[in-house]
Amino acid sequence: MKECTLSVKIGKMVLKNPVIVSSGTFGFGQEFEDFFDLNALGAIIPKGISLKPMIGNPPPRIFETEGGILNSIGLQNPGFQEFIKTKLPYFRNLKTHLIINFLGNTQKEYTELARRFDSIPGISGLEMNISCPNIKRGGIVFGTDPQMTYRLVRAVRKVTALTLIVKLSPNVTDIALMAKSVEEGGADAVSLVNTFRAMAVNIHSKRPELGNVIGGLSGPAIKPIALRMVWEVHQAVRIPIIGMGGIMCAEDAIEFMMVGASAIQIGTANLIHPKTGVEVLQGIKQFLLQNKINRVQKLIGVFR
Ligand SMILES: Cc1cc2nc3c(=O)[nH]c(=O)nc-3n(C[C@H](O)[C@H](O)[C@H](O)COP(=O)(O)O)c2cc1C
């Protein structure tokens, strides 16, 4: 066997392959163009965008830990208008899907953003980050309350025909329950996981290593937990799953697909080795050919 089919379907999008680069770890794409041809990727997800610009959290914002990194960027981003004006045009010249990661502090902000993105050419899908505090409900995080999540997804679904992916927070007791709320709300797909709430202490200064004290843990340290969550969600919903959390190589990606992910995202690995995306893709292809599997879709959920 010399060839295999790598395409996968997520909602209305047909991706040429299942490798996506994750929000917040791939800038606005252009930063990575010197490393490889970005058109090789299944899709690109730029940094999360809010309605208004956000300045983010106080430094330090990144701290390396064993097998991972802690970040407390605080969702710094240029805001909708600036993104459309200065960042979006670059993606229009690429031949890969652009998925917009977006966030808000109220249901109104989420729906307003989704409605605005819906009318802009060049965008294939929306990935809704629900790991944000709802300022109207005393700061409770949207993605930790199934009812609130259901209502939010249903409201956003009404204003966009684009493929709607909802990105789950892993900071919950029952991730399958959250995924079910997302499915019932009408999302096309679910992506997981975002980072785990975590912290680090400097014993000399007796101070936190992050300016914001608490940040999000990502990288290889979280992979076994993320994998377990994808598997649990796969058993609970019928919509496609995009899996991520500590994927560093093709073998990691294949594990996620076998437990039920239709596509995968590369996050922290981009910050360590910018070419990880294409190398994971090559590795998946090699695995398929070596094992005489003619379509990557045949890997999805084969885990028993
Ligand atoms: C520096 C940094 C910034 C991130 N920014 C975002 C973001 O803006 N929106 C979002 O949904 N996820 C964001 N994430 C989470 C990643 O997209 C991904 O879900 C997480 O890091 C787990 O995957 P990984 O272990 O492969 O990094 C960020 C992660 C890192 C490390």
Query: What is the band of 140 on the pLDDT scale with cuts at 50, 70, 90?
Result: confident
127-155 in b/e burial notation, b at 16+ Cβ within 10 A?
bbbbbbebeeeeeebbbbbbebbbebbbb
Mean pLDDT calculated for residue range 216-238: 98
pLDDT attached to residue 182: 98
Tell whether the model's pLDDT for residue 135 goes beyond 80: no
Tell whether the model's pLDDT for residue 1 goes beyond 90: no
pLDDT attached to residue 136: 82
Mean pLDDT calculated for residue range 273-283: 98
Query: What is the band of 120 on the pLDDT scale with cuts at 50, 70, 90?
Result: very high
Report CA(49)–ligand 1 centroid distance (Å). Answer: 13
pLDDT attached to residue 4: 96
Radius of gyration of the chain (CA): 18
pLDDT attached to residue 138: 79
Cβ–ligand 1 distance for 246 under 6 Å, the answer: yes
Cβ–ligand 1 distance for 267 under 6 Å, the answer: yes
What percent of the chain lies above the pLDDT cut of 90?
95
| Segment 243-272, tens digit of pLDDT | 999 999 999 999 999 999 999 999 999 999
Q: How far apart, in whole angstroms, are the C-alpha atoms of residue 10 and residue 97?
A: 11
Mean pLDDT calculated for residue range 66-71: 96
Q: How far apart, in whole angstroms, are the C-alpha atoms of residue 226 and residue 108?
A: 30
Mean pLDDT calculated for residue range 212-222: 97
pTM metric for this prediction: 0.98
Cβ–ligand 1 distance for 8 under 6 Å, the answer: no
Tell whether the model's pLDDT for residue 141 goes beyond 90: no
pLDDT attached to residue 222: 98
Cβ–ligand 1 distance for 185 under 6 Å, the answer: no
**Continuous segment of H or E residues that includes residue 89:** helix 88-92
Query: What is the band of 134 on the pLDDT scale with cuts at 50, 70, 90?
Result: confident
- CA angle 53/267/276 to nearest 5° reads 130
What is the 8-class DSSP label of residue 133?
B
Mean pLDDT calculated for residue range 109-133: 95
pLDDT attached to residue 239: 98
Query: What is the band of 109 on the pLDDT scale with cuts at 50, 70, 90?
Result: very high
Give the atom of ligand 1 at the shortest distance from the alpha carbon of 45: 17
Mean pLDDT calculated for residue range 165-184: 97
Tell whether the model's pLDDT for residue 139 goes beyond 80: no
More confident residue, 1 or 229: 229
Q: How far apart, in whole angstroms, are the C-alpha atoms of residue 279 and residue 274?
A: 10
- Verify cis geometry, omega within 30 degrees of 0, for the bond prior to 296: no
- CA angle 197/172/181 to nearest 5° reads 135
Residue 104 in contact with residue 113, Cβ under 8 Å?
yes
Report CA(297)–ligand 1 centroid distance (Å). Answer: 25
pLDDT attached to residue 124: 97
What percent of the chain lies above the pLDDT cut of 70?
100
Cβ–ligand 1 distance for 129 under 6 Å, the answer: yes
Question: Pocket of ligand 1, candidates 194, 252, 265: which has the most ligand atoms within 8 Å of its Cβ, to mutate?
Answer: 194
Among protein residues, the one whose CA lies closest to atom 26 of ligand 1: 267
pLDDT attached to residue 20: 99
What is the 8-class DSSP label of residue 295?
B
Mean pLDDT calculated for residue range 292-303: 98
Residue 124 in contact with residue 14, Cβ under 8 Å?
no
Give the atom of ligand 1 at the shortest distance from the alpha carbon of 222: 25
> Percent helix, strand and coil across the chain, each rounded to 5?
35, 20, 40
